Amino acid sequence: MTNCKTAKVVFLLLFVLAFLWTTNPSQSIAQPLTHTVVKGDTLWDLCAKYYGDPNLWPKLWEMNPFITNPHLLKPGDVITLFELKAVKKPKVAAKKVPKPAKPSAVIKGVDISNMTNLKTLGYLTPFNLKPWGHIRFSGTSKLFLAKGDTIFADFGPRSDITPGMTFSIARPSELLTHPLTGADLGYIIAIEGSLVVKERIKRSLYKAKITESFSDVHVGDLVVPHETVSPCIQPVSTAKKLYGNIVAAKNQAQVIGQYSIVYVDSGFEDGIKRGYIFEAVRTKKVPSFETKGKTLKEIMAAIIKDLPKRQYLAEIWTQLRKKKVIYEIPIGKLMIVETRPHTSTAIVLSSSRDLWTGAFIRGTSWLETPSYLSKMPVCKVQ
């Protein structure tokens, strides 16, 4: 009889333990997940390795505030990893949003129309471009086509093409790689001009006229829907925890300066919005002039006092090499002009030196409008 009672008690205990495990198994994990940095590691690579999504690196950086640069990790540092479920957005019940009052308020913006030709911005896409059609042949023997030339565009199986429709003429670059990670980046889509459809010739072939040409147009160039970008942009102060990289430049330019058009490896799905202002920074390792409350001068005085002259010079150099920190030096300002799901197009408002692909950018915040923005032409954002 006693054995029977004991067996029942053991069974109940096992049942309770099993229930607790299935309802909250995370309580049994006492130690947080960690990763010890090895040479060559970046937060981008670690997120790709542990979560299968390199774009989660800002979350991992937020978890490890001691990291000064996500692309310059120190071997031996221990990074705390988060559980993947921690970054999943909880389901929120849909709320009824009241309709905005009319008319909407007028906000002051800045006019960038004199800084660049907004019709030629182009954009970066991680995927192959799917055009509506392509230039099949031209009505001239010229090798390079320009404004006023007649062309014949093939729109394939599309049945919604009508005379008077306007399209952009586009040309994709070769597949690019990320300047920091080496991963496939995507394609720069250059806008070479625009055309207007005149008439249907037969089946999928239409006669059209080139209405604008920003560079040489070729037979074989792609035909895509025409997009317009407003020159009036409202500058927005952003959180400093918003980060990214300049990964490419318009026309794949090697020298990037004021008014250059650049492409960033973050888009609206990463929290980037039109009008956001970013600061380009250069990271540099320099000696720290303070350690444990003492200045470098005080440390040198202590070394000189305790060691012969021949030795203290070597000791000072050793201290300088050991005590190093990374500084971020501002070298330019960028404003987001247009965003896509995972990429953005920006214009360089100012730069104290040439920028480069791979340059690190961070969000900027302010309480009062910065002087460099207040000097720009003003416009009205409806």
Nearest to 378 by CA among 114, 18, 39: 114
More confident residue, 55 or 234: 234
What single letter denotes the amino acid at residue 332? G
Distance CA 152, CA 161 (A): 13
Enumerate the CATH 3.10.350.10 domain ranges in the chain, comma separated: 32-84
Q: Look up the CATH number of domain 122-225.
A: 2.40.10
Query: Residue 306: left (phi > 0), alpha (psi -120 to 50), or beta?
Result: alpha
3-state secondary structure of 272: coil
pLDDT beyond 90 at 368: no
Distance CA 287, CA 321 (A): 7
Enumerate the CATH 2.40.10.170 domain ranges in the chain, comma separated: 232-285+326-381
Average pLDDT over residues 203-215: 96
pLDDT beyond 80 at 29: no
Environment class of 307 (CB within 10 Å of its CB; exposed 0-12, middle 13-18, buried 19+): middle
The answer to whether 246 touches 361, Cβ cutoff 8 Å, is: yes
The answer to whether 338 touches 318, Cβ cutoff 8 Å, is: no
How far is the CA of 88 from the CAs of 83, 265, 306, 364, in angstroms?
10, 21, 57, 26
Domain 232-285+326-381 in this protein, CATH class: mainly beta
pLDDT digits (tens, 9 = 90+) for 45-57: 788 788 877 767 7
Which pLDDT score, from 0 to 100, does residue 183 have? 87
The answer to whether 67 touches 57, Cβ cutoff 8 Å, is: no
pTM assigned to the model = 0.65
Six token digits for residue 84: 């993947």
360 band by pLDDT with thresholds 50, 70 and 90: confident
Which pLDDT score, from 0 to 100, does residue 237 have? 87
The answer to whether 327 touches 283, Cβ cutoff 8 Å, is: yes
pLDDT beyond 90 at 207: yes
Average pLDDT of the chain to the nearest whole number = 79
- Report which DSSP code applies to 86: G
CA torsion sign for 322, 360, 358, 69 is positive
Record: fold of 32-84: Membrane-bound Lytic Murein Transglycosylase D; Chain A (3.10.350)
285 band by pLDDT with thresholds 50, 70 and 90: low
Most confident of 14-23, 195-204, 262-271: 195-204
pLDDT digits (tens, 9 = 90+) for 271-280: 899 999 999 9
Distance CA 316, CA 309 (A): 11
Q: Which residues lie across from 150 on neighbouring strands?
A: 209
336 band by pLDDT with thresholds 50, 70 and 90: very high
Nearest to 159 by CA among 134, 129, 196, 132: 132
pLDDT digits (tens, 9 = 90+) for 287-321: 444 455 565 556 556 655 555 444 544 555 455 54
Six token digits for residue 178: 């990320």
Distance CA 173, CA 188 (A): 5
